[in-house]
Amino acid sequence: MGRRPRNDLLAGLTVAVIALPLALGFGISSGLGAASGLATAVVAGSLAALFGGSALQVSGTSGAMTVVLMPIVGTHGPAGVLTVGLLAGLLLVALALARAGRYMALVPAPVVAGFTVGIACVIGLQQFPHALGVRPHDSDQVPVIAWHAVADFLAAPHWWAAGVTLAVAALLLVGARIRPAVPFSLLAVAAATLVAELAALPLTRIGHLPPGLPAPSLGFFDLGAIPALLGPAVAVAALAALESLLSAGVADGMSGGHRHDPDRELFGQGVANLITPLFGGMAGTGAIVRTAVNVRSGAQSRLAALSHALILGGIVYLAAGLVSRIPLAALAGVLLATAVRMVEIGAVRAMIRSTRGDGAVLVLTAVATLMLDTVLAVLLGLVVAGALALRAIARNVRFDQEPLRHDLQPQHTEDEHALLAEHIVTYRLDGPLFFAAAQRFLLELSEVTDVSVVVLRMRRVTTIDASGALVLGDAIQRLERRGIAVYVSGIPDGHHQPLEALGVIARLDRTGRVFATTDEAIAAARERLHTTGVVPRLVS
C-alpha cells in the first residue's frame, strides 16, 4: 500500500498507543462504556481506512461525537445510540452516492484554519488534568476543565506527572526538528512507562482493559424506534461528514502531498458506521487528533490507519496488561506536542494579515470551536464568511449612466443630439442583481429626475434572484408613477424566468418596451417622444 511500509507500520503503532486511551475515555463518556469505544476504534478504524477517501485519515471515537451521543443515551438508551449510528451510516452512504462531498471544497480557507487552531487548543487544554496529575473536573467546557485542573494542582502541587508530560512533549518537539523520521512519540511513551515502572512513580496509569470485542449482533435494532431516531441520526451524520472531511482536509494541509476524495471519504465513513454498531460500537468519525499524530509520525498511505486499527485489536486481546501500565501523563505529553505542531504559525499569521475579513473569520471560528462545538463553529464561520463575500460582491455591482449615442444619425445637429439627451437616459447594469445589492440599485434608480425615458441595459447582468427582480419591478413602478417611461434591453438568456414569474416585465412586454438590443430600445423611445410631442421629429 505504501512505498515505505516500515514508516506506515510505525505510524500505525504510534497512533494505536494514542488512540487506546481516547477510545476508552470517549466510550465511557458517551455512556456506552469502554468496550464500545474500543469497538469503534477497531471496527470503524479499519473499515474507514479501507473504504475511505483519505490515505492519512484515522477514524474512531471523537470528543465532538461523544457530546452529541450523550443526550441520545439518556433519552433512548444504548440500543437507541446503536440504531442512530446505523442510520447515520445509511445517510452518509446516500450523501456519498449523491456526490455531496465535493461541496466541502467550498469551505473557505480561514474557516479551515480557524477550525484547526480551535481543535489544537481543545486538544491541548484537554490534557491539563492528566498532565498535572489531578482528577478531571466534571464539565462540558474544556476551558473550565483546564482551569479547575490548574487550580487543583496549585492547591496541592505534585510534580511527577507534570515532569513526565513536559519531558515527553519536549522530546517530541525537539526530536521532530532534528530527526523527523524517528518515531519519538513511541520512544518517549515507552521510556516514560519504563521509568515509571522501575522507579514506582506515583502516576495514574491507563488501567484495566476489557478482554475483547463483543460478537456482532443486530439485537439492538427496533423498527418502531426509527421515526424518533431520525432527527438524532441526521445530526450524527452531519457531524460525521463535517468532522471527517475537515479532518481529511487538515491532513492534506499538514502532509502537503496528499489529496483526499471527499465522496469516497463519506462512503467509507458510511460503511464504517453501518457495521460498527453490530459490534456494540458508537458512531465514529475521522478523528483529527489521531490523524494529526498519524501524519506527524510519518505515515505515507492508508496502511498506517489500517495497522492502527489492527494493532488496537491485537492489544485488546494480547497485551492489555502491558498497555494498562502506560502513564496518562506520558500520553498527555504526546498530545500536547501534537497540538503545538498542528498549527502552522506562519500560515495563520499571514492569513490574519491578508484581509480584515479573513482574520475575523479565522479568529471567530477558532474561538467558537474552543468555546462551543465543532459543527456550530464551522457553521458560524461559514455564515460570517458568506456574509462578507456577499458584501464584497454587492459592492462590485455597477449601475452607471451612459452617454446617449445609440441610433443617433451622424447628420443630426449637436442641438438635436442635446435635445434627445435631455429626455432619454440610459443606464447599464453590471454584475449580479441579487438581494445583497438590490437595495442600493433601487435607491440610485429612484433618484433619476428631469427625463422622459429611462433605458435599462441588462446585457451584462450575471444573475438575478427573486429579491433583485422584485426591486427592479419596484423601481420601474416608482419611475412610471412620476411619468417616466421605462424601456429594458438585452435581458440575458436564463434571466427571464424570475422576471416573468414575479410579473416584473409582463406589462412592459405587453406594451412593447422590452427589446433585444439597446439601439432598438432607444429607437422606440425616440418614436414615443415624437408621438407625444415631447420633442420635435428630427429630420435626417
End-to-end CA separation in angstroms for the chain: 82
Q: Report pTM.
A: 0.69
Least confident of 15-24, 150-159, 324-333, 377-386: 15-24
The answer, yes or no, to whether residue 373 has pLDDT greater than 80, is no
Among the CATH numbers 3.40.1190.10, 3.40.228.10, 3.30.750.24, 3.30.70.100, which is that of 423-532?
3.30.750.24
Question: What is d(CA 145, CA 131) in angstroms, rounded to the nearest whole number?
Answer: 12
Sequence-distant (6+) residues with CB within 8 A of 421 are 403, 404
Q: What is the predicted pLDDT for the residue at 411?
A: 45
Long-range contact set of residues 440-447: C-beta below 8 Å, sequence gap at least 24: 440/394, 440/397, 440/399, 441/397, 441/399, 441/468, 441/471, 441/472, 441/475, 442/471, 442/474, 442/475, 444/399, 445/399, 445/475, 445/478, 445/479, 446/475, 446/478, 446/479
Q: Model confidence over 317-357: pLDDT tens digits?
A: 777 777 778 888 888 888 888 788 878 788 788 888 878 88
> In angstroms, rounded to a whole number, what is the distance separating the alpha carbons of residues 343 and 53?
23
Q: Compute the distance between CA of residue 193 and CA of residue 201 in angstroms, rounded to an integer.
A: 10
Q: Where are the beta strands (DSSP E) in 48-171?
A: 59-60
Q: What CA–CA distance (Å, rounded) separates 304 from 230?
A: 34
Report pLDDT digits (tens) over 5-34: 888 888 888 888 778 877 876 777 677 877
Q: Per-residue confidence at 303, pLDDT binned at 50, 70, 90?
A: very high
Q: Where in the chain is the domain with CATH 3.30.750.24?
A: 423-532
The DSSP symbol for 533 reads: T
Is the CB of residue 409 less than 8 Å from the CB of residue 417?
no
Alpha helices in 276-327 (DSSP H): 288-296, 303-318, 320-323
Q: Cell numbers at residue 238, please?
A: 452531519
The three-state secondary structure class of 161 is: helix
| Grid coordinates given for 476 | 420601474
Enter the C-alpha cell of residue 375: 459543527
Maximum mean pLDDT: which of 16-20, 159-163, 455-459: 159-163
